[in-house]
């Protein structure tokens, strides 16, 4: 067989393995699920980290209706467990259903979508209509579901009834898999006006109707169901027990901090190196790591985003792009960050720092209206932050995992700037273009206009930790993050890096062009006190020029430019810029052709 291929978006195990697609071997998940998982397991991971494919793999391994699938596993690790395979492979009736496409705007359409989805599931098992073990009335229920003539109550019972029908037919208990169980809940929360509980009319809101339905739909099938042999749900969020899991006491949650299944979703370091080597891209490993690595699940570090890795390899001529970020809608994430007003923490994260926060094991969406700290669990569960280990008092250290996700946070800063302060996009674009085209005087003019209109929105006074009295937010740092946010508009054409070690020190901001014939830019930001009332103008100008000289000398002395040269940018195409803030007014000079500031107006 020839060289394996890599196709984007495939999540059916048989379609991948039978058609010479490259498959990262996660088959030992089958063994761990069966031997170490609970009677009912809930595994949470971010979107597009392999949940659907892993459930498809379980289906093809265990489903008694898929005897032909046994051949698919012969070259993979699970085949070495001969006794296990002989005893369990293709021996169980199985239900596998995904709720990820239930994204309707209201409950009526949501219910119709459920009807269609359950109808399709029943059609997959339509052979049961010929079973002599089902009664006529059971077959009639079966037909009603296929023809979508059921009411809401009957639809709630459809999953548990199908499991009972399968047990009757095969005389064996059923494995039941539900993928993205939380998708209808998250979607309903997004489209339900706040507050999500209607106290005035006592009528159930869209969100409450979905919760009510899911309590029966999933509750009946996973609790007290004598036809269930083993169950697994996957999702992004750990929706609280007091909502759909209110009466469950027979299941275990394996979230992103659990040491179980920690290497079974996403690509490990070794798996990433192997796939890059196979497709002759191993020399790109350093940049792949910066863009798509950085996650930690349980006690396993260096988990790579599988969606972005596959897309990067398949589209290698396009270079490094935010494939995972661009594949979904993060409007809920963005709105929650903006609503909670945590710009100080966002600034820390963008600068590469970690923050200490509690991760909630269980929560309900209603709590978002009163508990802003749930934001950090939302961000971590969804893959926009990653835990790097426990800190004091049971909290976790959280950080942005990689360059790809940093784009989301810088985009949020841009949203603050555009939505809250009404900067025009045309001004941002023209100002950024002047920078990359080395028109520094015009860049300074546009930059000053933006700063003058907006910087008062940010608190540029020093902030002090209430407990330690330590100054934790400085004006220079806010100017840095603010400038970084403005430059986000260039992220399609440049790798934008901040506060990274290079040469003999740490530069403030660096722009590395994807097109190596373009100019690379190093920016050093300094801050001085604004002109005092009685200060002589010449002395003030001297202070500015001294700071400019300090900043530009720092760039050369610490050899920050070496990273650009290492990225194949010609020395003559490197722009070295100093931005000096006096109060909120920026003064900008560059090397070469440094010119002294002559007028402070």
pLDDT tens sequence across 384-401: 999 998 877 779 999 999
Across the range 207-230, mean pLDDT stands at 92
Confidence band, pLDDT 50/70/90 cuts, at residue 595: very low
Residue matched to tokens 């494939």: 323
Question: What percent of the chain stands above pLDDT 70?
Answer: 87
Residue 52 pLDDT greater than 90, yes or no: yes
**Tokens (6 digits) for 231:** 């169950």
Residue 463 pLDDT greater than 50, yes or no: no
Per-residue pLDDT at 209: 93
pLDDT tens sequence across 487-500: 877 877 888 887 66
Across the range 55-62, mean pLDDT stands at 98
Between β-strands 228-235 and 251-254, what pairing exists: parallel, antiparallel or unpaired? unpaired
Q: Are residues 392 and 489 in the same domain?
A: no
What is the Rg, in whole angstroms, of the alpha carbon atoms belonging to the chain?
Answer: 28
Across the range 474-485, mean pLDDT stands at 68
Angstrom CA distances, 423 to 127, 410, 432, stand at: 62, 15, 13
pLDDT tens sequence across 313-334: 999 999 999 999 988 877 777 7
Indicate whether 135 belongs to any domain.
yes
Least confident among 42-51, 317-326, 401-410:
401-410
pLDDT tens sequence across 330-348: 777 777 777 776 777 887 7
pLDDT tens sequence across 533-568: 777 888 888 889 999 999 999 998 998 888 999 999
Q: How many helices (H) and strands (E) does the chain have?
A: 25, 19
Q: Element (H or E) spanning 178, and its range? A: strand 174-179
Q: Please identify, among 302, 326, 350, the residue that sits at the C-terminal boundary of a domain.
A: 326
Across the range 73-86, mean pLDDT stands at 96
Q: Are residues 441 and 578 in the same domain?
A: yes
CB 470 within 8 A of CB 399: no
Angstrom CA distances, 491 to 262, 401, 510, stand at: 32, 17, 12
CA atoms within 13 A on the CB side of 583: 9
What distance in Å separates the CA atoms of residue 548 and residue 598, rounded to the nearest whole number?
Answer: 13
Across the range 152-163, mean pLDDT stands at 95
Residue environment code for 23-40, b if the CB has 16+ CB neighbours within 10 A, otherwise e: bbebbbbbbebbeebbeb
Per-residue pLDDT at 473: 43
**Tokens (6 digits) for 444:** 């300074």
Indicate whether 288 belongs to any domain.
yes
Per-residue pLDDT at 78: 97
Per-residue pLDDT at 37: 81
**Three-class SS of 111-147:** HHHHHHHHHHHHHHCHHHHHCCCCCHHHHHHHHHHHC
Those residues whose C-beta lies under 8 Å from the C-beta of residue 223, and which sit 6 or more positions away, are 247, 248, 250
Q: Where are the beta strands (DSSP E) in 295-454?
A: 295-297, 300-303, 355-357, 386-390, 396-399
pLDDT tens sequence across 576-586: 999 998 877 88
Q: Are residues 213 and 166 in the same domain?
A: yes
Q: Please identify, among 287, 311, 326, the residue that sits at the C-terminal boundary of a domain.
A: 326
Residue 88 pLDDT greater than 80, yes or no: yes
Per-residue pLDDT at 419: 59
Residues forming a β-bridge with 576: 522, 591
Indicate whether 342 belongs to any domain.
yes
Indicate whether 426 belongs to any domain.
no
Q: Are residues 389 and 446 in the same domain?
A: no
Neighbours of 121 (CB within 10 A): 18
Per-residue pLDDT at 467: 44
Q: Are residues 355 and 502 in the same domain?
A: no
Q: What is the mean pLDDT of the chain?
A: 86
State how many domains the chain has. 4
Indicate whether 86 belongs to any domain.
no
Q: Are residues 442 and 558 in the same domain?
A: yes
Between β-strands 295-297 and 509-513, what pairing exists: parallel, antiparallel or unpaired? unpaired
Across the range 203-215, mean pLDDT stands at 91
Per-residue pLDDT at 308: 97
Q: Are residues 466 and 517 in the same domain?
A: yes
Q: Are residues 226 and 319 in the same domain?
A: no
Q: Are residues 156 and 239 in the same domain?
A: yes
Per-residue pLDDT at 352: 79
Q: Please identify, among 194, 225, 254, the residue that sits at the C-terminal boundary of a domain.
A: 254
Residue 143 pLDDT greater than 70, yes or no: yes
Tell me, what CATH number does 137's domain have? 3.40.50
- What DSSP state is assigned to residue 531? P
Q: Are residues 319 and 337 in the same domain?
A: no
Residue 238 pLDDT greater than 60, yes or no: yes
Q: Are residues 222 and 145 in the same domain?
A: yes
Per-residue pLDDT at 15: 95
The range of the structural domain enclosing residue 371 comes to 331-404
Indicate whether 82 belongs to any domain.
no
Q: Are residues 475 and 572 in the same domain?
A: yes
Per-residue pLDDT at 399: 95
Winning range, highest mean pLDDT, from 86-95, 252-261, 379-388: 86-95
CB 97 within 8 A of CB 178: yes
């Amino acid at each position: 067989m020839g060289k394996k291929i890599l196709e984007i978006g495939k999540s059916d195990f048989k379609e991948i393995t039978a058609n010479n697609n490259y498959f990262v071997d996660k088959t030992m998940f089958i063994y761990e699920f069966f031997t170490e998982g609970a009677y009912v397991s809930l595994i949470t991971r971010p979107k597009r980290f392999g949940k659907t494919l892993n459930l498809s793999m379980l289906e093809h391994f265990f489903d008694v209706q898929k005897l032909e699938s046994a051949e698919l596993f012969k070259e993979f690790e699970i085949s070495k467990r001969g006794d296990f395979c002989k005893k369990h492979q293709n021996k169980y009736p199985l239900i596998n259903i995904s709720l990820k496409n239930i994204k309707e705007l209201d409950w009526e359409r949501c219910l119709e979508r459920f009807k269609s989805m359950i109808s399709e599931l029943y059609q997959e098992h339509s052979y049961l209509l010929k079973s002599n073990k089902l009664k006529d009335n059971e077959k009639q229920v079966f037909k009603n579901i296929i023809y979508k003539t059921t009411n809401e109550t009957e639809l709630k019972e459809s999953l548990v009834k199908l499991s009972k029908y399968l047990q009757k037919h095969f005389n064996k208990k059923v494995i039941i898999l539900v993928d993205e169980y939380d998708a209808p809940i998250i979607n309903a929360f997004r489209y339900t006006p706040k507050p999500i509980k209607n106290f005035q009319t006592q009528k159930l809101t869209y969100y409450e109707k979905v919760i009510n339905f899911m309590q029966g739909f999933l509750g009946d099938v996973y609790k007290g169901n004598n036809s269930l042999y083993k169950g697994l749900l996957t999702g992004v969020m750990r929706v609280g027990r007091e909502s759909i899991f209110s009466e469950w006491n027979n299941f275990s949650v394996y979230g992103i901090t659990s040491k179980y299944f920690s290497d079974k979703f996403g690509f490990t370091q070794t798996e990433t190196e192997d796939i890059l080597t196979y497709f002759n891209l191993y020399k790109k490993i350093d940049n792949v790591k910066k863009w798509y690595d950085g996650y930690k699940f349980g006690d396993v570090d260096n988990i790579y985003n599988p969606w972005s890795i596959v897309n990067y390899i398949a589209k290698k001529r396009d270079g490094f792009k935010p494939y995972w970020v661009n594949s979904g809608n993060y409007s809920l994430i963005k709105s929650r960050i903006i609503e909670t007003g945590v710009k100080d923490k966002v600034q820390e994260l963008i600068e590469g720092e970690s923050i200490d926060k509690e991760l909630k094991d269980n929560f309900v969406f209603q709590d978002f209206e009163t508990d802003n700290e749930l934001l950090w669990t939302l961000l971590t569960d969804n893959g926009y932050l990653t835990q790097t280990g426990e800190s004091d008092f049971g909290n976790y250290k959280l950080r942005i995992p990689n360059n790809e996700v940093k784009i989301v946070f810088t985009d949020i800063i841009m949203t603050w700037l555009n939505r809250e302060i009404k900067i025009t996009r045309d001004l941002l674009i023209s100002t950024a273009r002047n920078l990359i085209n080395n028109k520094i005087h015009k860049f300074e003019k546009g930059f000053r206009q933006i700063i003058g209109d907006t910087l008062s929105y940010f608190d540029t006074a020093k902030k002090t930790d209430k407990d330690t009295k330590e100054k934790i937010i400085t004006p220079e740092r806010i100017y840095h993050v603010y400038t970084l946010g403005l430059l986000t508009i260039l992220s399609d054409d440049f790798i934008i890096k901040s506060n990274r070690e290079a040469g003999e020190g740490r530069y403030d901001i660096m722009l590395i062009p994807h097109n190596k014939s373009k100019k690379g830019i190093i920016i050093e930001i300094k801050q001085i006190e604004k002109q005092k009332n009685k200060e002589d103008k010449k002395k003030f100008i001297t202070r500015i020029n001294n700071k400019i000289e300090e900043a530009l000398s720092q760039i050369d002395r610490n050899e920050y430019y070496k990273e650009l040269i290492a990225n194949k940018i010609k020395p003559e195409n490197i722009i070295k810029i100093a931005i000096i803030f006096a109060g909120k007014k920026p003064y900008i000079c560059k090397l070469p052709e440094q010119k002294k500031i002559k007028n402070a107006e």
